[in-house]
Structure 1
Amino acid sequence: MSDELSLAARDAVTHVSAAAPPSAPARLADDAAAIETARRVAADFARDAALRDRERRLPWAELDAFVASGLWAITVPRAFGGPGVSSATLAEVTAIISAADGSLGQIPQNHFYALEVLRVGGSVEQQRFFYDRVLAGERFGNALAEIGHKDFKRRTRLTRDALGLRIDGRKFYCTGALYAHWIPTLVVAEEAGRDVTYLAFVPRHASGVTITDDWDGFGQRVTGSGSVAFDGVRVEPEWVVPFLASFEKPTTIGPLAQIIHAAIDLGIARGAFQAALQFVRERSRPWIDAKVERAADDPLTLAQFGDLAVRLRAAEALVRRAGRYVDAVQAAPNERSVAEASIAVAEARALTTTISLDAGTRLFELAGTAATLDGLGLDRFWRNARTHTLHDPVRWKYHAVGNFWLNDTLPPRHGAL
């Protein structure tokens, strides 16, 4: 790939930028500013979270505010004008937003994933070009997953004809694509008789791109995780970044992707825990055998909240620890250090999976029947956790962790561990 963007590539940005926010986002100075900003915008997002979930109301205004806050640019390196926050801070920002609204917390996951692929495998010119787009307020979605196509020959293809490069194929689970300015798309190209995988950054409004809002999961309802079709979509060579080649060497692409997922689950668990606290304090009635006037004084309820609190704090600690591992190896990764980071993140994901599901379930056990009223929308925490935690089976996290500690077997390098 050329280090210089073609004239056609630069001209195409005019079309993409037409959908960008009207003013440039804030430039956050550092990690502390990112966390403070996340807390501020999360308070706004929380107010109508239940309504958006119940009515599947797409969060266009909230996303614009999210981007305008500067939070979508926090992983842009300082050398390119961004704050370059730590992985631990990225995880905490994600958890803060996810506690307010699990869907809003998940939408930028693949945006940050694409930025990490770009950091690891992109040329300096590609990095400068796309980092500038993000700093200007443009969003990345994703078109990575395909249903049932294990045969590479049938997957979304990148081919070359007399007019240049084109993409043809179908994708699903395309979280964020509906809201994106660019759709990073996993494509397979035949080179020298073998298939090579790339991540192609496709303009959202390019001719031949069709996005269908057909995600109807019972959780994470407004993530825009539907279908994307590519029919002869033209892309420039400068928008194509190596993908699987980045996993042939030790990198932090996989651990970074996974720590964001862990943070989403952690945030959902926090949201459920806080909702349970508030409901039991303000609305629940004590069980008759407790012989107390307030539900908050029921001794068995107190023990249950204590158990949840301890495991929630443990999950938070594991996510922070995993962030330190990822940060330590980003600058100079090697096979061993990347494996250790992957295991640290897997340990965190194992616990954030279980605590998010348990917090969502025990919210109702502790709050009582009144908490099930549909208008309250308290079931969204469990539904969001159950849906999101299915991204990668937790049983394989335990397998990888056990195999590492018992047999010193390094985990596989891919984005799902």
Structure 2
Amino acid sequence: MTQIELAWGEGPSQEYDGIAGRFRPVFARIADGAAAREVAQGRPAEPILWLKEAGFARARLPVEEGGLGLRLSEQFALLIELSEADSNVTQALRAHLGFVEDIVGLPHGERRALWAGRVARDETVGSAWTEVGDAPQFGFSTRLAERNGRHFLNGAKFYTTGSLFADWIDVGATREADGETVAVSVRRQAPGVSVVDDWDGFGQIGTASGTATFVDVDVADEDFVVEAGRFEYSPAYYQLVHLATLAGIGRAIVRDVGTLVSTRRRSYSNAPSSQPRTDPQVLQVVGRTRGAAYSAGAIVLQVARSLDRAFEARLAGDAEAYRRAVDIAELETSQALPVVSSLILDAATVLFDAVGASATRKGLALDRHWRNARTLSSHNPRIYKDRIVGDYAVNGTPPPEQWQIGTPAGA
């Protein structure tokens, strides 16, 4: 069935349902094991492999370079559907998708050719940027040093989402020679690289977002680049992946609670109907969750169009127009974040009102929807977004170009 026939609204393009048809059988296969993986705290290594085999990891790469040539809005619509199947899988691929987004906007040259070839071979990239403890707010304790004409990486990272399942790890580091922030790519299986799944958060437990350490890892000259040269709409891009994931969680809530209500036989003596499936108050709860999921998805696709425009401005090479498009994309994302997260967090709570105490049984894993949504909504604090948007509305202040977390200088 098409998006329209499912009442999720029109897709991002006329071609979208044909595009999605390639991946929907894989999404269904992933969904079949999602609850069981959650209960067992299993990792989605196999689902990620299935997606790679289907070409999902190279969806944004142009056809002539071995990819599928999808627009950003088409990719984000797919991410909603994938997140309905298992939000852990989307989160585990987030770093790879962002890395590829940077590559497809580069001019044709050595770096693009190198990475387009790797992506076309379905090689994936994990993330290792955030440091914990007394790590500085700007710059990194992780260092890239040069010795005898060779470069070596040393340091430790946390929140290394997806790195355990990836072929490469994208690492943020400070270059000792000049203090520049550089993005370093190292093979996950390279000597000196260690990835440990010690992530102990209550949500997104299958993403292996734990610790990575790097001890004298040999880095080739072509595998690091000054970070400032990367795509400028990256904050909006990475945040919109979270929002697409939340929209998918909303759809999963509708699917799960709808199935439970339609098959439930027990009813309360004080209920207005003898069957939950015809109980108007229960149906109201289910309808409320569906309205939240629908609205979240519509918002995500609207914001995705702003990223399409930012990408096109990047390719056009007009720096001023690119900056304007990036600011608008960041503002649209900031406007969407508090609304989408609130819609889905609310839906993940009220779903239990439609079923009762039996819905809290661990085997159903319905609590994963709230835990995952709450974890995603904590990545980029919602409290700052309304202020940033309000400052633009009142004073015309553009959004911050980038944000980082760490210990401020002098603290």
With structure 1 as the length reference, what TM-score do the two structures score?
Answer: 0.86
Q: Distance in 1 between matches of 2:64 and 2:291?
A: 40
Q: Residues 287 and 403 of structure 1: is their aligned pair in 2 closer, same or farther, counting only changes over 3 Å?
A: farther
Residue equivalent to 1:178: 164
Structural mapping, 1:201-216, within 5 Å: 201-216=185-200
| Alpha-carbon distance change, 110 to 356 in structure 1, aligned in 2, over 3 angstroms | same
Say if 1:307 and 1:376 are closer, same or farther in 2 by CA, change over 3 A: closer
Evaluate the alpha carbon distance shift between residue 324 and residue 290 of structure 1 in structure 2; reply closer, same or farther with a 3 A threshold. Answer: same
Corresponding position of 1:23: none
Q: Check if 1:297 corresponds to 2:283.
A: no
Would the aligned equivalents of 1:265 and 1:385 in 2 still touch at CA under 8 Å?
A: yes
For 1:221, the equivalent position in structure 2 comes to 205
Moved more, 225-234 or 237-246: 237-246
Confirm or deny: 8 A CA contact 1:143 1:173 kept in the other structure.
Answer: yes
Q: Does 1:371 align with 2:359?
A: yes
How many Å apart are 1:400 and its aligned residue? 1.9
Q: Where does residue 160 of structure 1 map in the other structure?
A: 146
* Counterpart residue number, 2:375: 387
How far apart, CA to CA, are the structure 1 residues paired with 2:183 and 2:391?
31
Q: How many residues align?
A: 383
What residue in structure 2 maps to residue 277 of structure 1?
Answer: 258
Residue type at the aligned position of 2:333? V
Deviations 1:181-221 (A, max 9, x none): 100111111454xx211111111111111111111222211
Q: Pairwise CA RMSD of aligned residues?
A: 2.2
Supply the AA of the counterpart residue of 2:127. Answer: N
- 1:254, 1:416 within 8 Å by CA — same for their partners in 2? no
Among 223, 242, 266, the alignment partner of 2:247 is 266
Which residue number in structure 2 is paired with residue 129 of structure 1? 114
- Out of 254, 260, 267, the position equivalent to 2:235 is 254
Cα deviation, residue 348, structure 1: 2.6
Deviation, structure 1 residue 340: 0.9
Equivalent in the alignment of 1:100: 85
Structure 1 residue 77: deviation in Å? 2.8
Structure 1 residue ranges without an equivalent (≥5):
1-29
Question: Is 2:140–2:174's contact at 8 Å kept on the other side of the alignment?
Answer: no
Alignment of structure 1 residues 397-408 onto 2, 5 Å: 397-408=385-396
| Alignment check: 8 A CA contact 1:31 1:86 kept | no
Query: Once the 2 structures are TM-superposed, how far is the Cα of residue 152 of structure 1 from its aligned partner?
Result: 5.5
Q: Is the 8 A contact 2:105 2:311 kept in 1?
A: no
Q: Does 1:343 align with 2:331?
A: yes
- Runs of 5+ consecutive residues of structure 2 not aligned to the other structure: 1-14, 315-321, 406-411
In the TM superposition, what whole-angstrom CA distance separates every residue of 1:133-164 from its partner, at most 9, and x where no partner exists? 11112111111111020166761111111141
Give runs of aligned pairs for residues 65-144 of structure 1, distance below 5 A.
Answer: 65-120=50-105, 124-144=109-129
* Residue 291 (structure 1) shift: 2.6
| Distance of 1:384 and 1:345 partners within structure 2 | 20
> Higher mean Cα deviation, 167-176 or 196-205?
196-205
Deviation of residue 373 (structure 1)? Answer: 1.3
Give runs of aligned pairs for residues 284-323 of structure 1, distance below 5 A: 285-323=266-304
The Cα shift of 1:302 comes to: 2.8
Structure 1 residues 120 and 369, CA, compared in 2 at 3 Å: closer, same or farther? same
Q: Quick one: distance in 2 between partners of 1:79 and 1:136?
A: 14
CA contact (8 A) 2:159 2:211 kept: yes
Could you tell me whether the CA contact under 8 Å between 1:258 and 1:415 is conserved in 2? no
Tell me if 1:63 matches 2:51: no
Letter in 2 for 1:240: F
C-alpha contact 1:140 1:184 (8 A) present in aligned 2: yes
CA–CA distance in structure 1, aligned partners of residues 301 and 137 of structure 2:
39
Give the CA deviation at 1:122: 7.7
Q: Percent identity?
A: 31
Amino acid at match of 1:68: E
One-letter amino acid of the counterpart of residue 342, structure 1: E
